[in-house]
């Protein structure tokens, strides 16, 4: 989550579900340039000049990590990629037509936390969603900390279709158990939104009860929404860290939920184990069917870990998902720790993933640091 995270989470950035755009044919390099070059060389040779060497062909590759950062959120809309992050007690966005460049592109600050109030400090894990012609930024912030016991989910709304704003603060989202009473609100972070089976939902990480310590177990919660800035139902606990691969050595938690949709299947990918330790990893929930109610926990099947660190890449988690420019490939953007040492010094990474025979995402293993990775399909024309 934010750049100065407590020993509870890391600093933190549907959702970026796999987009349902039609496939765009990949443009192939033209052979015309080669033919012209050959003609030029032939003419030069006929006059006694030295042959002209063709320019070196640029490699269509990049290396991980892309840049320092945590909780990366990348979304694609109308041919552009947008990367959003928190920094300097504000929220920043970059834009690029290339997925491999967007994390390192110039950023614009679109919102600064107010001097006072519930969201005046500790801005964590913003997400950017395009809903009904406007952009919405979901984030967490608080009024004090450490300890980070006042963190709460909030939302910003753009004035129009420009992701760079301006934005209006729509306030905090109700993430509690007693909707309409003005009471019962609960600590909440990492809120994401998604349309599942025709209904808009919010999913986030929260506490069963507000607490005086940020070393409090975290679960995943879900609630219905009536519009992008209003939660319209009491929360339901969707999942808790009860499996052996989710149980931490210092704290049990589930956080960073993101919705990933493919064909007719809906998944929630989330992070589990302690974010400051090397065993941070991804777990998965899968909704039973297109008619199953997402608010019923038994309609989800848990599996994991579905993406874990290695001896060379540590603490992978808090991922977002998008597609290549030509829609032919699925990509995951995530963070990892820079070392096994406890803490929140992290970097952003990206790599391609595939789909299994039953429609589930297959992430493989993290790409090694410095290893050349082919750029997303459609970037190198």
- Catalytic residue list: 71, 255
Torsion sign over Cα 5, 11, 15, 17:
negative
CA distance 336 to 290: 33
Kindly report whether the peptide bond that precedes residue 166 is cis, defined as omega within 30 degrees of 0. yes
Q: End-to-end alpha-carbon separation of the chain, Å?
A: 36
The CA-atom distances, in angstroms, between 42 and each of 30, 34, 35, 57, 359 are 20, 12, 11, 21, 54
CA distance 253 to 272: 6
Q: Residue 254 — φ and ψ, nearest 5°? A: -130, 130
Cβ atoms 234, 177 nearer than 8 A: yes
Burial per residue of 69-91, b for 16 or more beta-carbon CB atoms within 10 angstroms, e otherwise: bbbbbbbbbeeebbbbbbeebeb
Tell me the DSSP string of 256-291. Answer: EEEEEEETTEEEEEEEES-TTSTT-EEEEEEES-TT
- Closest C-alpha to 222, from 247, 198, 200: 200
Cβ atoms 151, 188 nearer than 8 A: yes
- Closest C-alpha to 9, from 280, 285, 347: 280
Cβ atoms 1, 140 nearer than 8 A: yes
Cβ atoms 14, 193 nearer than 8 A: yes
């Amino acid at each position: 989550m934010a750049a100065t995270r407590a020993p509870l989470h890391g600093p933190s950035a549907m959702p970026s579900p796999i987009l349902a755009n039609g496939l765009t044919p990949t443009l192939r390099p033209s052979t015309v340039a080669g033919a012209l070059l050959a003609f030029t060389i032939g003419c030069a040779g006929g006059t006694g000049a030295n042959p002209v060497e063709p320019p070196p062909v640029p490699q269509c590759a990049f290396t991980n990590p892309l840049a320092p950062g945590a909780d990366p959120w990348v979304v694609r809309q109308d041919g552009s990629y947008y990367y959003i992050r928190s920094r300097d007690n504000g929220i920043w966005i970059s834009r690029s037509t290339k997925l491999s460049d967007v994390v390192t592109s110039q950023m614009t600050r679109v919102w600064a936390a107010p001097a006072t109030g519930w969201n005046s400090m500790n801005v964590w894990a913003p997400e950017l969603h395009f809903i009904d012609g406007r952009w919405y930024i979901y984030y967490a912030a608080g009024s004090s900390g450490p300890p980070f016991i006042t963190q709460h989910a909030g939302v910003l709304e753009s004035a129009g279709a420009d992701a760079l704003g301006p934005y209006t603060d729509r306030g905090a989202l109700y993430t509690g158990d007693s909707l309409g009473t003005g009471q019962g609100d609960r600590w909440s972070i990492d809120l994401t939104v998604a349309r599942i089976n025709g209904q808009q939902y919010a999913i986030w990480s929260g506490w069963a009860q507000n607490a005086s310590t940020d070393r409090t177990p975290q679960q995943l919660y879900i609630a219905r929404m009536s519009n992008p800035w209003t939660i319209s139902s009491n929360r339901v606990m969707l999942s808790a860290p009860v499996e052996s691969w989710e149980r931490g050595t210092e704290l049990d938690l589930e956080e960073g939920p993101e919705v990933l949709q493919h064909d007719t299947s809906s998944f929630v990918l989330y992070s589990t184990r302690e974010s400051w330790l090397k065993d941070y990893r991804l777990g998965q929930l899968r909704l039973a069917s297109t008619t199953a109610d997402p608010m019923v926990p038994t309609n989800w099947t848990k599996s994991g870990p579905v993406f874990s660190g290695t001896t060379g890449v540590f603490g992978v988690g808090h991922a977002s998902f998008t597609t290549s420019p030509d829609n032919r490939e699925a990509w995951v953007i995530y963070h990892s720790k820079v070392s096994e040492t406890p803490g929140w010094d992290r970097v952003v990474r990206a790599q391609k993933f595939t789909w299994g025979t039953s429609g589930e995402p297959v992430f493989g293993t993290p790409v090694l640091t410095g290893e050349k990775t082919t750029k997303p399909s459609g970037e190198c024309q």
